[in-house]
Structure 1
Amino acid sequence: MAEIQIKEQVNGKKTTIKKGIHVDMTPMVDLGFLLITFFMFTTNFSKPNVINFSNPPKNTGLPTEIDYRNQITFILGKEGKVFYYQSDKKDLNGKSLKEVSFDKFQVAKTIESAKANAPRKEIFTVIVKPADDSKYKTLVDMLDELTLTKSERYGISEMNDKEKELYENKIQ
């Protein structure tokens, strides 16, 4: 609190003793903490960026086996390498597995061209198969590409033995 100035008489004259003003800052500190608390509770914190995965609806009537012309499969490898193929499982060989990169939207262009050539575009599916030595960043980049191309039907799966063998041959 502020101090009061006291008037005293010295030699018959009234003199004012001037003391420095002292303000008690305790209520100000309390007010400051109340304001900080108020703004912390009323502020919108940044929302985390999450990828929404949803399970496919049950009993859609659509076939579970998809013709290879209505799908494209991407294999995510080490060091950000991406391979793709669009062929039947029994016809899969080293020539059908091709490499593509994320530079200049090449993955997006590959998805768009495969979708354009699909006989049934409404069920076109992208299958993503990360290898054991692939990085998480590569998978996130691939999911970003699927978002850019507005691919609603996609799945993440494990590689089968034939795909693992072809992948190992490609990275050597």
Structure 2
Amino acid sequence: MAEVQIKEQSTGKKTQNKKPIRVDMTPMVDLGFLLITFFMFTTNFSKPNVMNVGLPAKGPINTTEVDVKNSISFILGQEGRVFYYQADKKDLTDKSLKEISFDKAQVAKTIEAAKANAKDKNIFTVIVKPADDSQYKTVVDMLDELAITKSERYGIAEMNDREKELYQKRIE
């Protein structure tokens, strides 16, 4: 049992016989541990970060063709590399596939420039195509850029054979 005993010193005068004061510290220690436990259970140490992604409704897959002039396609590659093009599949060449980076908001500037040149800005669509060797961080960074540029129409798709071929040429 934890206790504190205080011994009185005599000053030369005759004093009454007093019993020493005994303070039992056990209840205070129990109270301290109860408070620590209470605050540990009721405190949020860190809040999880959540990104809202609009997913399509369940049901049959709805495939729509997007006009080339109202869209831009991004290919997300390895080590955070980003390529983009704004051409038809049959017109896609090595020269039309351009590389940019996330530095100095180049992705946002590219999206804004493509949106400004679009025929119908209301249906402007951004198509994101992650490669097999791309990182999850790159996809999240791209979704952040879409949120920054307020691009509400976007899609995540797989690369076709021509895009894979050109991508492989560019990373070698």
**Shorter-chain TM band:** 0.7 to 0.9
Aligned length: 162
What residue in structure 2 maps to residue 56 of structure 1?
Answer: 56
Is the alpha carbon distance of 1:41 and 1:124 closer, same or farther for their aligned partners in structure 2, counting shifts above 3 Å? Answer: same
Partner Cα distance (1:34, 1:14) in 2: 42
Equivalent runs, 1:115-126 vs 2, <5 Å? 115-126=115-126
Partner Cα distance (1:44, 1:117) in 2: 47
CA shift, 1:76, in A, is 0.7
Long gaps (5+) in structure 2: 8-13
What residue in structure 2 maps to residue 164 of structure 1?
Answer: 164
| TM-score calculated relative to the size of structure 1 | 0.81
Is the alpha carbon distance of 1:167 and 1:4 closer, same or farther for their aligned partners in structure 2, counting shifts above 3 Å? Answer: closer
Is the alpha carbon distance of 1:14 and 1:99 closer, same or farther for their aligned partners in structure 2, counting shifts above 3 Å? Answer: closer
Per-residue CA shift, 1:73-110, capped at 9, x if unaligned? 10011121100001111111111100011111000000
Partner Cα distance (1:45, 1:14) in 2: 56
Matched, 1:131 2:163: no
Over the matched positions of the two proteins, sequence identity in percent amounts to 73
Q: Secondary structure at the match of 1:104?
A: helix
Q: Secondary structure at the match of 2:144?
A: helix
What residue in structure 2 maps to residue 111 of structure 1?
Answer: 111
CA shift, 1:114, in A, is 0.4
* Preserved CA contact (<8 Å) 2:70 2:123: yes
What residue in structure 1 maps to residue 150 of structure 2?
Answer: 150
Partner Cα distance (2:34, 2:144) in 1: 43
Partner Cα distance (1:158, 1:23) in 2: 74
User: Is the deviation greater in 39-48 or in 154-163?
Assistant: 39-48
Partner Cα distance (1:136, 1:4) in 2: 66
User: Is the deviation greater in 155-164 or in 41-50?
Assistant: 41-50
Is the alpha carbon distance of 1:4 and 1:46 closer, same or farther for their aligned partners in structure 2, counting shifts above 3 Å? Answer: closer
Partner Cα distance (2:101, 2:122) in 1: 26
The CA RMSD over aligned residues, in Å, is: 2.8
* Preserved CA contact (<8 Å) 2:78 2:135: yes
Partner Cα distance (1:129, 1:159) in 2: 6
What residue in structure 2 maps to residue 102 of structure 1?
Answer: 102
